Amino acid sequence: MTLGRTRSVAVTGIHGRVVDVEADVSSGLPAFTVSGMPDTACRQSPDRVKAAAANSDLELPKQRITVNLSPASLLKQGSGFDLAIAVAALVAGGTISPELVDRVVHLGELGLDGTVRPIHGVLPAVRAAEEAGARQVVVPVGNAAEAALVPSIEVVPVDTLAALVQRYRCLHRRKPTPPLPEVNPRSSVHPAVPDLADVVGQSAARYALEVAAAGGHHLAMIGPPGAGKTMIAERLPGLLPPLSREQALEVTAIHSVLGALPEQVLIEHPPFMAPHHGASMASIIGGGSGRVRPGAVSRAHGGVLFLDETPEFRRDVLDALRQPLESGLVHVARASEVVTYPARFQLVLAANPCPCGNNFGKGTRCVCPPQLKRHYLSRMSGPLLDRVDLRLQMMPVTRASLAGPRGESSAAVAERVAAARARQSRRWREIGRQLNSQVPGPVLRSGRWRLGADVTRPLDRALETGALTLRGYDRCLRTSWTLADLDGAPRPDLQHVQEAHGLRETGEAA
């Protein structure tokens, strides 16, 4: 045998593609090279394979070994091809019999001592293997629980190259194989999401949060430090329904690519991301030096992106949020490639009323020059605020409100949210939408969903006087439908519309 063949997977974004790994042995001076668009880490694979084989008492052919990864048009990144390259070379050298491995997908990095090390992106890689019809995938034992999230493929966990070769030798001689290494049981920890019951008072903010959760509306909160903006935002994921199986796999795949799955479990609950305002473009939108990585917008996919002190964020970062807000995707361009990640999140913005934070109520304690005050909040306006249906003015928590009763629990509110969401998804199924926040304005203003003039009167008047733009008008309509859904009403009435208008303008805190 001078040709060895097996398979592996190249992951771009959160999508994998099966790659054929072929090792050819030819006469000539000993050499070991990889071709087929490997990146630097992948090109260095032969060094790790040689050391791992030597330290596992395995013999590689002492001739010229050429490994080709195809399709060649696909960039092969990282050290995750090590195991497949080693297996292909050992087949070419006659150590492993070819029929055992040519259809098997091998994933894993090799340590110089021959251990098989966990890699990033195993979940999307195994999904790609399954889609390509592979029946068996060999993965590092540290990634086995994650690989097992894909049900219809046999996962073989390995801890060393020597143990894998031993297994193939036994299979070849039809002898019983040694036991596979033990996989840590998947812990199914429920993330600790803070509960709404801990929020005392703040009835307007609590209600705005419920509306935001019910209709999937983006929310902006403006209020002084200490008004509880962060506390409110953190409780939004706890009001949202758990992710569907398909969403959960997608969200988990993003965190898998980042290597941020310490528990190796399926992420079944909406994530919450709160990047700092000083964070770089790459860490928020995606990118980075070396390998492209998903940013906070993608880590918030299926959940909530919270920007505390929004006016302090870099302008270009805020502008770059437009693309994911419009399409639910983010395209990260690099010299050699454009990588696309999912990024559909619910946005929560928070801002102080002015740089000093005291411009609330009569604003007598504010020390900011008027021009600075105007400029401050305008940083948040424009295209970003245009997509925010709910705008909430918050006041500092007073001693009187602290004496109030404990609020409702997140579970109780989540039940109403789920019921309201069920109504929406039934209603908008025919136009392919699920939530009121996703329905285009023209759909709400014409045809069968148009509301009577007696109901929309306050909005019509505001539009005529210029107090409301057409976009603002549509946002009020969307919110009105959510208020009706929370009420169990078939259509919004005048009160819903008035209330929606209030939630867009201010919504004074109680």
Q: Which stretches of the chain bind Zn ion, using CB under 5 A?
A: 354, 356, 358-359, 366, 368
Nearer of residues 320 and 395 to Zn ion, judged by Cβ: 395
Give buried/exposed letters for 235-268 (b at 16+ CB in 10 A, else e): bbbbbbeebeeebbbbbbbbbbbeeebeebbbbb
To 5 degrees, how large is the angle CA 78–CA 130–CA 271?
70
Backbone angles phi, psi at 473, to 5 degrees: -60, -50
C-alpha neighbours within 13 Å on the C-beta side of residue 224: 16
From residue 501, give the alpha-carbon distance in Å to each of 75, 104, 475: 51, 60, 9
d(Cα 243, Cα 269) in Å, to the nearest integer? 6
Closest separation between CB of residue 250 and Zn ion, Å? 43
Nearer of residues 330 and 394 to Zn ion, judged by Cβ: 394
Nearer of residues 36 and 357 to Zn ion, judged by Cβ: 357
Closest separation between CB of residue 363 and Zn ion, Å? 7
Closest separation between CB of residue 380 and Zn ion, Å? 15
Backbone angles phi, psi at 387, to 5 degrees: -95, 5
Closest separation between CB of residue 221 and Zn ion, Å? 17
Looking up tokens 């110089």 gives 112
Asked if 178 contacts 166 with a C-beta cutoff of 8 angstroms, the reply is yes
Nearer of residues 71 and 370 to Zn ion, judged by Cβ: 370
Nearer of residues 290 and 369 to Zn ion, judged by Cβ: 369
Closest separation between CB of residue 219 and Zn ion, Å? 23
Q: Report the relative pairing of strands 338-342 and 329-333 from DSSP bridges.
A: antiparallel
Nearer of residues 356 and 489 to Zn ion, judged by Cβ: 356
Closest separation between CB of residue 450 and Zn ion, Å? 43
d(Cα 259, Cα 40) in Å, to the nearest integer? 19
Closest separation between CB of residue 372 and Zn ion, Å? 8
Here the contacts of 361-366 (C-beta below 8 Å, separation 24 or greater) are 361/395
Closest separation between CB of residue 354 and Zn ion, Å? 3
Sign of CA dihedral 57, 58, 62, 66: negative
Nearer of residues 143 and 359 to Zn ion, judged by Cβ: 359
Beta bridge partners of 340: 331
Asked if 247 contacts 270 with a C-beta cutoff of 8 angstroms, the reply is no
Backbone angles phi, psi at 268, to 5 degrees: -105, -5
Nearer of residues 372 and 411 to Zn ion, judged by Cβ: 372
Residue 354's SS3 state is coil
Q: Which two tokens stand for residue 270?
A: 């909406």
Nearer of residues 358 and 479 to Zn ion, judged by Cβ: 358
Nearer of residues 194 and 225 to Zn ion, judged by Cβ: 225
Closest separation between CB of residue 367 and Zn ion, Å? 6
Closest separation between CB of residue 373 and Zn ion, Å? 6
Nearer of residues 61 and 224 to Zn ion, judged by Cβ: 224
Give buried/exposed letters for 423-457 (b at 16+ CB in 10 A, else e): bbeebbeeeebebbbebeeebbeeeebebeeebbe
Nearest in space to 257 (alpha carbons), one of 302, 303, 299, 290: 299
Q: Which two tokens stand for residue 169?
A: 């030798």
Closest separation between CB of residue 506 and Zn ion, Å? 18
